[in-house]
Amino acid sequence: MDRFAPSRRHFMGLLGITAAAAVSGLRAADVQLPFDNGKRQLVEGFEGKGRMILQRTRAPLLETPFEVYDNGLLTPVDRFYVRWHTASAPRQIDTAAFRLNVHGHVERELSLALADLRSLPAREVTAVSQCAGNSRGFSDPRVPGAQWGNGAMGNAVWRGVNLRQVLDRAGVKAGSMAIRFRGLDAAPPHFGKSLGVDIARNDDVLLATHMNGQPLPWDHGFPLRLVVPGWFATYWVKAVSDIEVLTTEDDNYWMAKAYRIPATPDGSTTPGAPAGATTPISTMPPRSFVTNVRDGDRLRAHSQHAIRGIAFSGKAAIRRVEWSGDGNTWHRCQIDGEGGVYGFRRWHTQIPVGAPGGQQLLVRATDAAGNVQPLHAGWNPGGFMRNAVESLNLVIA
Amino acid sequence: MNIRILILALITLPFAVSAQVTEPPLPLTGAPPAAAVCIACHSSEMIDSQPRLTEAQWRATVLKMKAAYGAPVADKDVDDIARWLTAHQTGSGQAAARQGRLP
């Protein structure tokens, strides 16, 4: 029998979802993402958001318009990108009845109410959440999936309890191999992601209740969201309600089949090559962007122009940001102090603008572990983990 | 309840009023009836925003929706849906990808 067996309950569920899809929002304008078939609607007020690029109405895929990244280091909640796989997460949650269950290879199973979690000490971490498929639309050759521009990323202050406190209450037994997190979006294939025990016990991994000082809204994972600083957002399970300690590798779809990259040093392969070994995607390699100048902008000839942007790496703190006009000679930019290890870092510099015509502007980031953005983008079948040097073509007049 | 009734309900429901954000309809002209299932779980932008995909890529996508997401697609309908998706993309005037396609 098919797993998608329609039932009255299912029917009502779908009606509920479609009714919710009518949540008000005004169409503002169209925007052209810089790749084929990249025309999208800009909408305002949809899902309670400010102006966003509408990638998909149901289940919501909303992209942050790029100018937002020039406004400040933190991405406002109402401009923060949204990515759901299925439309099955409940929009209304009975907070008194909600429980976070911890089970599997543990000394004591737990069933924690939100009040239990509130009684634990909370902490804050500033960290970038970036979709594994951010910038997929630039894949060459193109690959199927959500056709994001560069706006499936955001930086926020996340507040919550350290996951380790919860794991220690349950008592993770020796011989545990992975810890799996599941959320309330239970439509098949039930979403779940796993972390190794050492990763899950890191000080900075949170069960977050707030972002940027506000309670998590529905679309960012109310009432609890796993925050795994440095790791791609696929691990940041929203509306997390179930933690299971496993003694084997997690064989669920989202680990064993989806969100995998070639097991090569940079996660890339040759288009059309036979499928080789793959591994689950994990931490984010460095990226940097110019935020105050866009591709195709006009600059005044024979002048100095102030440029600024953002940089981040999930593997180590940002150590260096450089700009180049030709991809060969690189010049250091100044990096501002604020931002922390996991967040966006602001950088700025002055570039000389030459004679009328065209001028290229490239930026690249290097982190403290020596990871540096490659000049040319790698390719993989999922369109994951793009982090090539960004290149702008400027018009000098 | 029959899945076709469910899908019909989805297609014909007024998704929103006036100038609000609405789910765009999926034009099903020339589509095999089984193709309607595509928008049971997601809105049609997911189809219309894709780059030009080969029939083999569309077929792989349909099979993924069937195997992983439990979409009720009969084996006999997979090729029909993939063919229609490929033709739908061409018919909707989407510019041919300048970049190379997957072999």
- CB nearest to B98's CB, from A24, A36, A258: A36
Question: How does residue A24 score in pLDDT terms, banded at 50, 70 and 90?
Answer: low
**pLDDT of A29:** 86
Residues 33-62 of B with CB under 8 A from A: 40-43, 45-46, 49-53, 57, 61
Average pLDDT, stretch A172-183?
A: 98
Burial class (CB in 10 A: 0-12, 13-18, 19+), A306: exposed
- Shared-domain flag, residues A78 and A124: no
Query: In 3D, which of A284, A265, A267 has the Cα closest to residue A341?
Result: A284
- Shared-domain flag, residues A117 and A216: yes
- What is the side-by-side order of every strand in the sheet holding A99-104? A110-113, A99-104, A240-246, A178-183, A192-196
**DSSP three-state, residue A123:** strand
Please provide the average confidence, as pLDDT, over all residues in chain A: 93
- Shared-domain flag, residues A187 and A97: yes
- Shared-domain flag, residues A77 and A104: no
Measured between beta carbons, the chain B residues lying within 8 angstroms of A272 are 102-103
The values of phi and psi at residue B20, to 5°, are: -75, 165
Burial class (CB in 10 A: 0-12, 13-18, 19+), B101: middle
Is residue A383 in some structural domain?
Answer: yes
How many independent structural domains does chain A possess? 3
Nearest CA distance, A70 vs chain B (angstrom): 27
Average pLDDT, stretch A235-263?
A: 98
* Yes or no, beta carbons of A54 and B97 under 8 Å apart: no
The values of phi and psi at residue A26, to 5°, are: -105, 135
Burial class (CB in 10 A: 0-12, 13-18, 19+), B18: exposed
Nearest CA distance, A74 vs chain B (angstrom): 27
Is residue A17 in some structural domain?
Answer: yes
Q: What is the pTM of this model?
A: 0.90
- Checking if the pLDDT of A355 tops 80, the result is yes
- Tell me which of A231, A248, A280 is where a domain ends: A280
Contact A189, A168 (CB under 8 A): no
| DSSP element (H, E) containing A110 | strand A110-113
Q: Which range (A174-188, A286-300, B11-25) has the least confidence? A: B11-25
The HSE-up count of residue A65 (CA atoms within 13 Å, CB side) is 21
- Shared-domain flag, residues A187 and A274: yes
pLDDT digits (tens, 9 = 90+) for A302-337: 999 999 999 999 999 999 999 999 999 999 999 998
Per-residue exposure over A102-132, b if at least 16 CB sit within 10 Å of its own CB, e if not:
bebbbeeebebebeebeeeeeeebbbbbbbb
Is residue A88 in some structural domain?
Answer: no
- Shared-domain flag, residues A230 and A173: yes
Average pLDDT, stretch A109-123?
A: 97
- CB nearest to B1's CB, from A6, A25, A43: A6
**pLDDT of B93:** 59
Domain that includes residue A49, residue range? 3-83
- Shared-domain flag, residues A39 and A146: no
* Yes or no, beta carbons of B42 and A37 under 8 Å apart: no
**pLDDT of B60:** 96
What is the CATH classification number for the domain harbouring A110?
A: 3.90.420.10
Q: C-alpha angle with apex A130: B97 to A368, nearest 5 degrees?
A: 110
How far is residue B36 CA from its own chain's centroid?
Answer: 7
- Checking if the pLDDT of A160 tops 80, the result is yes
* Yes or no, beta carbons of A37 and B99 under 8 Å apart: no
Q: What percent of chain A has pLDDT over 90?
A: 90
Cα-trace Rg, chain B = 14
- Checking if the pLDDT of A112 tops 80, the result is yes
Q: Which range (A10-24, A281-295, A351-365) has the least confidence? A: A10-24
What is the CATH classification number for the domain harbouring A304?
A: 2.60.40.650
- Tell me which of A222, A252, A280 is where a domain ends: A280
Copy the structure tokens of residue A243: 């933690």
**pLDDT of A292:** 98
- Shared-domain flag, residues A198 and A104: yes
Specify the DSSP class assigned to residue A106: B
Q: Tell which wins on pLDDT, A9 or A127.
A: A127
- Shared-domain flag, residues A101 and A248: yes
Residues 56-115 of A with CB under 8 A from B: 56-59, 86-87
d(CA A10, CA A13): 5
Q: What is the DSSP string of A192-258?
A: EEEEEHHHHTSTT-EEEEEETTEEPPGGGTTT-EEE-TTB-GGGS-TTEEEEEEESS---SHHHHTS
- Checking if the pLDDT of A21 tops 50, the result is no
**Most distant CA atoms of chain A, gap in Å:** 71
| DSSP element (H, E) containing A390 | strand A390-396
Is residue A267 in some structural domain?
Answer: yes
- Shared-domain flag, residues A127 and A72: no
Residue of A nearest to B16 (CA): A22
**DSSP three-state, residue A376:** coil
Specify the DSSP class assigned to residue A92: S
Per-residue pLDDT 10s for chain B (103 aa) are: 445 544 544 444 434 333 467 888 877 777 888 999 999 999 999 999 999 999 999 999 999 999 999 999 999 999 999 999 999 887 665 644 433 333 2
Is residue A15 in some structural domain?
Answer: yes
Measured between beta carbons, the chain A residues lying within 8 angstroms of B90 are none
- Shared-domain flag, residues A159 and A274: yes
- Shared-domain flag, residues A109 and A179: yes
- Tell me which of A223, A254, A280 is where a domain ends: A280
* Yes or no, beta carbons of B6 and A188 under 8 Å apart: no
Q: Tell which wins on pLDDT, A362 or B100.
A: A362
Phi-psi region of A97 (alpha: psi -120 to 50; beta: other; left: phi over 0): alpha
